[in-house]
Amino acid sequence: MTVRAIRGAIQIDRDDPVLMQEAVTELVSKVLEANQLTNTDLISLLFTCTPDLVSDFPAASARAMGLEKVPLICAVEMAVAASLPRTIRLMLHCHTELDQDQISHIYLRGAVILRKDIAQ
């Protein structure tokens, strides 16, 4: 098995803990499914949120979906002028048999504009 990093992002409509939980669950689930991963394949997840998201921690949503044994951390994304607002990003580290070019990076909802070249 090889260690790989997988990126993803999702945008929510407003800063609301329920919307954040739904979005984190959707994003993590799609990353796991697209890359044929289970919880035991995961090494760690790093979440960032744009500075306008303060209602909850994305890691809390990941723990609620069963990732309580995976190391999780949250950080604030840089406040770059004209950047996409209300965006949750992730970098997931995992063990996988997939080659680098087989990895599916997942960008959902409004976040597809961040990586139109690989967005789902």
> Is 7 known to sit in a ligand binding site?
yes
> Is 89 known to sit in a ligand binding site?
yes
Q: CB under 8 Å to 16, separation ≥6 — which residues?
A: 55
Residues annotated catalytic, as ranges: 7, 63, 74, 77, 89, 107, 115
- Six-digit token string for 4: 């790989």
> Is 14 known to sit in a ligand binding site?
no
Give Cα 51 to chain centroid, integer Å: 16
Edge to edge, the sheet with strand 72-76 lists: 72-76, 42-49, 87-96, 2-11, 106-108
- Six-digit token string for 96: 């996988």
Residues annotated within a binding site for prephenate: 7, 89, 107
Q: Write out the binding residues.
A: 7, 89, 107
